[in-house]
A and B are shown apart, each in its own frame.
Chain A
Amino acid sequence: EPEVTQTPSHQVTQMGQEVILRCVPISNHLYFYWYRQILGQKVEFLVSFYNNEISEKSEIFDDQFSVERPDGSNFTLKIRSTKLEDSAMYFCASRQGQKLFFGSGTQLSVL
């Protein structure tokens, strides 16, 4: 069964550094998402992406965040200058119909 894949599984970075989280959505899906989950809390929406552009973003998704689909398969989330409070599990997801399928996540730790 096809799955959303994410790399890396863990990322440790220093505050102020840039990080890029990578995702390969399921191939015939058209909508892509980034969510994050701070330890012990709910899954929070960051951004949705359709037809090569952002369709919606939350207030968390400020100027430090960007997304890109550089080719036909990858979907990336960049955080330009990480802050301590960016530490979380970041989930990529893709959608078929109304069903959302999550990747296995990238645990980002900002020191």
Chain B
Amino acid sequence: GENVEQHPSTLSVQEGDSAVIKCTYSDSASNYFPWYKQELGKRPQLIIDIRSNVGEKKDQRIAVTLNKTAKHFSLHITETQPEDSAVYFCAATLEYGNKLVFGAGTILRVKS
């Protein structure tokens, strides 16, 4: 089955700096890659996603890149703010209706 690896496990950045979180997946048939943000004690919230027919997607300060050949995808947050502090999870799924397989999560701390 699919396996998703995520790095780093923790990331501290200064406010205003960029943050990059990387994930790799094992199943080349996976075609949908969402990113979730989870604040302490709250539900995971979808922040951005990308499909395998696209190499990059951007939404304001957040962007995701996908390299299908290498089977990895990354989350980029620019101009980080204290409210970006949270746990970020990447995930991958094979096809419509199938389960999402999550990475282990990255604790992002933005220091002001």
Question: Could you say which of A43, A44, A48 contacts B97, with CB atoms under 8 Å apart?
Answer: A48
Question: Could you say which of B51, B97, B103, B104 contacts A55, with CB atoms under 8 Å apart?
Answer: B97
Measured CB to CB, the nearest residue on chain A to B105 is: A42
Q: Contacts of A33 on B, CB cut-off 8 Å?
A: 99
How many residue pairs, one in A and one in B, have C-beta atoms under 8 Å apart? 50
Task: Output the least CB separation between A9 and chain B (Å).
Answer: 10
Binds B, one of A12-20, A65-73, A79-87, A92-100: A92-100
User: In the assembly, what is the distance between CA of A42 and CA of B89, in Å?
Assistant: 8
Interface string of A49-61 (1 = CB under 8 A from B): 0100001101000
Q: Provided the pairs A102-B44, A104-B43, A105-B43 are in contact, do residues A97 and B96 lie with their beta carbons within 8 angstroms?
A: yes
Question: Could you say which of A45, A95, A104 contacts B42, with CB atoms under 8 Å apart?
Answer: A104
Main secondary structure of the interface of A (DSSP, over half): strand
Q: Does B101 contact A (CB under 8 A)?
A: yes
Question: Could you name 20 residue pairs across A and B whose Cβ atoms are closer than 8 Å?
Answer: A31-B97, A33-B99, A42-B103, A42-B105, A43-B36, A43-B89, A43-B102, A45-B100, A45-B101, A48-B97, A48-B99, A50-B97, A58-B99, A91-B44, A99-B34, A99-B49, A100-B46, A102-B36, A103-B43, A104-B43
Residues from 70 to 92 in B contacting A, C-beta threshold 8 Å: 89
Q: How many residues on B have C-beta within 8 angstroms of the other chain's C-beta atoms?
A: 22
User: In the assembly, what is the distance between CA of A99 and CA of B33, in Å?
Assistant: 10
Q: Does A101 contact B (CB under 8 A)?
A: yes
Q: Contacts of A104 on B, CB cut-off 8 Å?
A: 42-43
